Structure 1
Amino acid sequence: MESPRPIGHHRHVTTDFDPLSTPIIELAAAAADIPDLPLVSIEGQVATYGDAWTAVRETALGLRRAGVSPGDRVIVLLPNQLEAIWAWFGIQAAGAIDAPISVEAPGAFLRYLADDLSPTTVIGTAPLLARLAGVMSTPPVLAVVVGEPAAGEPIFGAGVRQLGFDELRALGASSPDTLELPSSSTLGTIMYSSGTTGPSKGVMLSQGYYATLAAVHTELFGLRSGATTYCVQPLCHIDGRSSLVNTVHVRGRLFLGTRFSASRFWDEVEEHDVDFFYYVGTMIHLVYKQPPRPLRDPARHRIGIGSSTPASIQRDFEARFGCELVQGYGMTEFGLILSQRAGDNEPGHVGGLLPWVEVQVVDADDVPVSDGTPGQLVCRPLRPHLHMLGYWNKPEATVEAWRGLWFHTGDVVVRRTDGHFEYVGRTKDSIRRRGENVSAWEVEQAATRHERVLEAAAIGVPSDVGEEDIALLVVPTALGRPEPSELRSFMARDLPRYALPRYVEVVEELPKTPSERVAKGLVRDRGVSSAAWDAEATPVGG
């Protein structure tokens, strides 16, 4: 392992909002100042700031010489690897729009995304592009293959120009053109949200969005100049991208993993001696469930930046791993809306108001509710580049989301009298039972407190008496399968009777989104099987 470089000797990290900044502008400036310092490491491959800028510049000029024009959509279908970064930054430096797609996207979903985007160019490995070629209604003009090309005919047929990624860079390296970088207000990314209902929507993000988010994160989470960071979330997701842009902003170093592993996560945090790591609540829960083992350096303090932190284990996790978990609340459409701050991370809330966002908690008629009353969180920005430009190809959805000139998050929160906000659940992820609205999130939290429950997903299923009954799917820990009736009794300690599940089914795994969250839409589609235990002893259909 390479020794981590000292912290805090490169420059003062500014937290000022620069409405003209973009990650590409910041990378170019850093490459001029610290070209030989490492920026990113992925599975042993290391790129310095100078390497990164050269690769981005060559990719951008290569795309232009290959015919990519400003405003063209370019699909990027790559796992976490250096070429995924060069493609992302290079596409935007060329003035085109990058559209990152999960490598796990299946056929029908992939077809929907491709049809929605109508890309002129696609970039990916040969196997992934072959999958894309099998579902695209209209082939692209250009296909760029990362790694070994497929044998035989071009992936998309003889009518589509095909280049290797190295060939693309060589085109750019030989280009006499000057690279004029787009403005911060230019549409840079279309990123599809992992919504729980309906087709995913393409969230349009300006190039300035990422740089603004980096400035926000730096202030709230105490990011330091030269800090070392670790992240395993994919680059097709906003968290993975934030980890890189934040690193460029503070001129630090990023260790980017390729896949989350509960058993290896903390080993890698310690191996790379990181200052900051990124997480979602599921990761924290799964790491916490691993067998305890001594820390390499008990005196080392680290900060975790994430969301959905399990309140019931937060302080135990922090004490066990010598860290501080600081969570914020945001979404792809609106980078950060509420947040805790380093040093102020009480379990059970998602933070307080931020000076650059205005928020309200409203009822179903968009009327503000009083403190202590659950309602939907709505917000609007007080600075540029904090929010999306709209939904791609869905103007009606954009108008609906911004009705009344407030962005509607779809999440239910409670504002406490101390100014902090507690997350309750999704408006579309609540279960209506016996006249009561039950938060699926609350049911899941109660279940995962059991030592034999690794993960849980609560859904509503049709009831024979109207409305819905609650079904709970759980994944067991290494300790063994939970006994359904005992689990239900255990959950009764934290939940009112109407919120207890009628059905409990133990499953091997739950479907996940690219950001490692449970894909509730797929869980609802699956429902419960005849193997489910029924508290009322009635058969459950498949």
Structure 2
Amino acid sequence: MKPSAISEAGEAAAAPAWARAVGMFPPSDRILSTILARQAERYGDRVLLVSGETRWTYAQTAAIAAASAQTLVDAGIKPGDRVALMCSNRPEFLQVFLGCAWLGAIVVPINTALRGFQLSHIFRNSQPSLLVVEAPFLAAIDTVEAGVELPSQVWMIGTAAETGSAKISPVPLPALGDQAAASLVRPGDTVAILYTSGTTGPAKGVCCPQAQLFWWGIYSARALGIREGDVLFTTLPLFHTNALNAFYQAVLNGCTYVLEPKFSASGFWAAARRHNATVGYLLGAMASMLLAQPQTGDDRSHRLRVALGGGVPPQIHAPFFARFGVPLVDGYGSTETNFVFAGAIPSDRPGTMGYLADGIEARIVDADDAELPVGQAGELLLRAKEPFAFATGYFGMPEKTVEAWRNLWFHSGDRVVRDPDGHYRFIDRMKDSIRRRGENVSSWEVEQAIQFHPAVAACAIYPLPSELGEDEVAVAILLEPGQSLAPVDIIRHCEGRIAYFAVPRYVRIVKEMPLTENGKIKKGVLRDAGVTTDIWDREAAGVKVRRL
């Protein structure tokens, strides 16, 4: 071998795993079937997935994807068909997802907390050919509004209770058998439709192409300093972007992906130790919840080297590192975009969005999309340099797609400022949405549900600060003349109609709403008033939301 070749080989071996993955998968190969097949050849019996008692090697995962695709083919599912998936964190979720990606079908993950109006909208908008539902969520399907067409084919994961569902007749998830050949999928083909909270309307289905999830795996690995052989440990739900793209981080970088059923503040560190986790994922209030746990002698008895800390309040970073020895990585991304901002490890300015990532363009603009100078706040606009690194639009909503991607930039709806040192800082939301415990809450959807109460003349949903970071949901209610209402009645009214996390914590009965000259409610006035003396606090009252 020539000295130059030796040098090039050494440089390639010394490069980070994410950089090697970019070289291994040229643009046309950035599809999941090719990634799985190639990594299966490379890593073979290395463990890729750990979920409960389930272990999948790289080779087994590729085989499961191909066999899952064949079950879809046998059911008449074709490339481009939608497959709705309502399932918690368990291997069958990934089995269905991988089968769809291998075949070229489109998976539509559904938040398992959705009910009624919100759930109905997803079925109405996505029009799936197949529904795969975990048994505990069969009753949720019964909350779908009359007149909404459900798929004629329904597969069930797990064993149903005797009550089952009145609207669907599921059959068990088919056993895996023969393997399908990978379909001719392209990097720009949609692999998933992920619904993100609407603002002035219902949730929008974000069309995520195959290559976008590839770049999520690359950009996230770069930001978190992921190394080959790391153990990636997530408790976040698979129906959201974060946990789903963490799987791509693992497969692209030769890591093991550990999927826990859900987040538990009391059990987090024991699970991290049990799995020898090296990389973790904490969003918003999760870090605060861990700090609130009683201190123990085992607080540093783990191998966690770093954790994503997007949305973690700045004052939490230092005590978290001091107690647990784990730096939290600031970052910013969205379902429509990617991991577009990332902080240093450890953070040099906790609580900021970090620095703009390589491969991404950003502008801060005014109401006319004119760029603003450094230090002046405006709307954040984003654009990717790599093909299909961002979402391609909103499913079945062309007017919303044009609005969000006008002038060929994605309009985030977030007010942001760029400081002279290169850090970007989130100021507030320009759009009417709320972030609670890692979930986006649509003010519009909650208002629609509450407006159905016969005693309510008008209502306004707005955010109030949470003690744990992020927001709490508050509602101001104007009653119909002659009507009375106890705040707890609103809670009971919302149960089963909207997701449990969207049910308001604060209820304020007002005699009049603050209005603009055009008759619109001034939500800023309600928000700025904070927790007033006439507001009712569900948590202080000891009222629990029932998850119907």
Q: TM-score, normalised by structure 1?
A: 0.76
Matched, 1:363 2:366: yes
The offset of 1:65, in angstroms, is 1.9
The offset of 1:188, in angstroms, is 0.9
Distance 1:349 1:427 in 2: 18
- State how 1:258-407 maps to structure 2 within 5 Å: 258-295=261-298, 297=300, 300=303, 302-407=305-410
The offset of 1:149, in angstroms, is 5.5
Match of residue 184, structure 1, among 166, 184, 187? 187
Structure 1 SS opposite 2:314 = coil
* Residue in 2 that maps onto 1:128: 137
Matched, 1:165 2:173: yes
Match of residue 139, structure 1, among 146, 150, 175? 150
Inter-CA distance 376–462: structure 2 relative to 1 (3 Å threshold): farther
What whole-Å deviation, never above 9, does each CA across 1:490-513 have from its counterpart, x for those lacking one?
Answer: xxxxxxxxxxxxxxxxx9xx99xx
Q: Is this contact kept in 1: 2:300–2:325, CA < 8 A?
A: no
- State how 1:426-465 maps to structure 2 within 5 Å: 426-429=429-432, 444=465, 448=467, 457=472
What whole-Å deviation, never above 9, does each CA across 1:470-495 have from its counterpart, x for those lacking one?
Answer: xxx9xxxxxxxxxxxxxxxxxxxxxx
Matched, 1:252 2:267: no
What whole-Å deviation, never above 9, does each CA across 1:229-250 have from its counterpart, x for those lacking one?
Answer: 1101111000010111111111
Match of residue 148, structure 1, among 152, 156, 159? 159
Inter-CA distance 87–539: structure 2 relative to 1 (3 Å threshold): closer
Give the counterpart letter for 1:166 in structure 2.
P
Give the counterpart letter for 1:164 in structure 2.
P
- Across the two proteins, how many residue pairs are aligned to each other? 460
Give the counterpart letter for 1:144 in structure 2.
W
What whole-Å deviation, never above 9, does each CA across 1:85-135 have from its counterpart, x for those lacking one?
Answer: 010010121111100001111122111111111111111223424532662
Structure 2 SS opposite 1:323 = coil
Distance 1:299 1:291 in 2: 17
Q: Is this contact kept in 2: 1:237–1:515, CA < 8 A?
A: no
* Residue in 1 that maps onto 2:92: 83
- State how 1:15-164 maps to structure 2 within 5 Å: 15=19, 16=22, 18-20=26-28, 21-129=30-138, 131-132=140-141, 135=144, 137-148=148-159, 163-164=171-172
Matched, 1:523 2:504: yes
Structure 1 SS opposite 2:298 = coil
Q: Is this contact kept in 2: 1:77–1:129, CA < 8 A?
A: no
Distance 1:300 1:221 in 2: 15
Distance 2:475 2:367 in 1: 21
The offset of 1:61, in angstroms, is 1.2
Distance 2:532 2:18 in 1: 60
Inter-CA distance 332–535: structure 2 relative to 1 (3 Å threshold): closer
Structure 1 SS opposite 2:504 = helix
The offset of 1:37, in angstroms, is 2.0
Distance 2:149 2:317 in 1: 49
The offset of 1:354, in angstroms, is 2.0
The offset of 1:19, in angstroms, is 2.3
Segments of 5+ residues of structure 2 without an aligned counterpart are: 1-12, 435-461, 479-486, 511-525, 539-548
* Residue in 1 that maps onto 2:438: none
Q: Runs ≥4 in structure 1, deviation > 6 angstroms?
A: 9-12, 150-155, 532-536, 538-542
RMSD: 3.6
Distance 1:288 1:181 in 2: 48
Give the counterpart letter for 1:271 in structure 2.
R
Q: Is this contact kept in 2: 1:360–1:368, CA < 8 A?
A: yes
Inter-CA distance 367–462: structure 2 relative to 1 (3 Å threshold): farther
Give the counterpart letter for 2:157 in structure 1.
V
What whole-Å deviation, never above 9, does each CA across 1:340-387 have from its counterpart, x for those lacking one?
Answer: 143454213111122211111112232222222221111111111221
Q: Is this contact kept in 2: 1:289–1:454, CA < 8 A?
A: no
Segments of 5+ residues of structure 1 without an aligned counterpart are: 1-8, 432-439, 464-472, 474-506
Q: Percent identity?
A: 28
